[in-house]
Structure 1
């Protein structure tokens, strides 16, 4: 039986730029970094507070060579925030592409793009 989502694999074109985006602009922390010395490198990141799930940043090109046919598309991720307006303003001030806040039946939501143009959503909880 499953107990929780542990990690999400995010395949990126430039791991160093992705780490900078997630840590410098979004305030995530690097939990661990592994490198097998043969090109396989992964970086585990997570929000600094109360994170039960982490994101693993993988090199998209390397993984594509290692596992042809693997779906390397960006997952649709929904993050939660306790202060949506403040978060949207903070991200906008850091030059992150953000969408307008939209009222959905489940609550207020906005989206943002990472440095590679992948979009993610944030909901107020």
Structure 2
């Protein structure tokens, strides 16, 4: 049996502003953008090279959903963006005015810094060290 998490829903205020942020600031790719009806779209984005999972941008449909924008995990880091070159991506993100809320730090598992997306969701930018490269593996027996 092979299962995987295909999409993670990310509640956003507006499809187009979210697409603009993720594609221009983080270099994500739009995998699909399909109109469902006059208010709803199926928008899937992913970082370069991603094969296993992606983000489903879900526009808040009511006040309750809107209240979760930017705080889907109650203030904890929500998403983990793994990289094969921390400093390349960190420096590019700084130039693109991504707000880092915790500076780069060498941890036992690798190099990490915490940044905010356009709504304030917290992300780890993480390059695992040699002992933890296996967590990047996407092919499972």
TM-score range, shorter-chain basis?
0.7 to 0.9
Partner of 1:79: 81
Answer yes or no: is the 8 Å Cα contact 1:43–1:57 preserved in 2: yes
Partner of 1:36: 36
Residues 23-102 of structure 1 mapped to structure 2, 5 A cutoff:
23-60=23-60, 62=61, 64=62, 72=68, 73-74=71-72, 76-98=78-100, 99-102=102-105
SS in 2 for 1:122: strand
Structure-2 separation of matches of 1:104 and 1:3: 30
Alignment size in residue pairs: 120
CA distances 1:28-57 after superposition (whole Å, capped 9, x unpaired): 100001222231213100112143111010
Partner of 2:132: none
Answer yes or no: is the 8 Å Cα contact 2:35–2:42 preserved in 1: yes
Displacement after TM superposition at 1:105 (Å): 2.3
User: Is 1:107–2:90 an aligned residue pair?
Assistant: no
Structure-2 separation of matches of 1:36 and 1:5: 22
TM-score, structure 2 as length reference: 0.75
Answer yes or no: is the 8 Å Cα contact 2:12–2:58 preserved in 1: yes
Partner of 1:22: 22
Structure-2 separation of matches of 1:13 and 1:2: 34
Displacement after TM superposition at 1:97 (Å): 0.7
Q: Cα RMSD between the aligned structures?
A: 2.1
TM-score, structure 1 as length reference: 0.84
Q: Paired residue for 1:118, among 117, 121, 136? A: 121
Displacement after TM superposition at 1:121 (Å): 0.7
Partner of 2:137: none
Structure 1 gaps of 5+ residues are none
Displacement after TM superposition at 1:2 (Å): 5.7
